[in-house]
Amino acid sequence: MGSWDGRSIHWRVADSRGKLRLLLAEDAFLERAYNDLRVDVSWKTSTLRRWLNGEFLETAFSREERMCVISGRVDNPRNPRFFTQGGAPSMDKVFILTQEEIEKYLPAQQDRALGKWWWVRMPGCNLLSAVSVCEDGSIYEIGINVNYASGGVRPAMWVLLRV
């Protein structure tokens, strides 16, 4: 489902709820900043969120594929180590996972290791940083500056199966 830069996007089914499936990209095939500017930011106000639910969704998927993608409430929890508030919930079709979701769907560190780091949907030690998954699959709770453009993006989305 979908393609980027002329290549098919490969997904894994991370969760299943009736006719709904949570798809997680197999790889962090995009590189993008969590936010274009280094300012206090939450997932809801980030430029990455806006881009994933706008240009990425429109470009990567056909009209028929987009019709299967479900919009839903996305909670934005605080950082479990530093207690930095994650901000208000958002309504998204495409998102990235939180630390808790990563630990649930990818419990083994080697399952998270991609040889490059990628963004997590929660703040780091302050709102100028966001948690990331390191090259070796460990979770970096302190966070990386939100404006680092080399951050890998591993999109996730809920889709409705057609029967």
Q: What is the pLDDT of residues 120-133, one digit of tens each?
A: 999 999 999 999 99
Q: Which parts of 20-138 are beta strand (E)?
A: 20-25, 30-31, 69-70, 72-74, 90-92, 94-95, 118-123, 129-133
pLDDT in the model for residue 83: 94
Task: Label the pairing between strands 90-92 and 72-74.
Answer: antiparallel
Q: What is the pLDDT of residues 69-92, one digit of tens each?
A: 999 999 999 999 999 999 999 999
Instruction: Output DSSP code: residue 9.
Output: P
DSSP-assigned states of every residue in 106-149: S-SHHHH--SS-EEEEEE-SSTTEEEEE-TTS-EEEEEEETT-T
The residue behind tokens 């894994």 is 12
Q: What is the pLDDT of residues 104-117, one digit of tens each?
A: 999 999 999 999 99
pLDDT in the model for residue 163: 63
Structural tokens at position 160: 């409705």
Taking residue 129's Cβ as centre, other Cβ atoms within 10 Å add up to: 24
d(CA 79, CA 125) in angstroms, rounded, equals 7
Q: What is the pLDDT of residues 9-60, one digit of tens each?
A: 999 999 999 999 999 999 999 999 999 999 999 999 999 999 999 999 999 9
pTM: 0.96
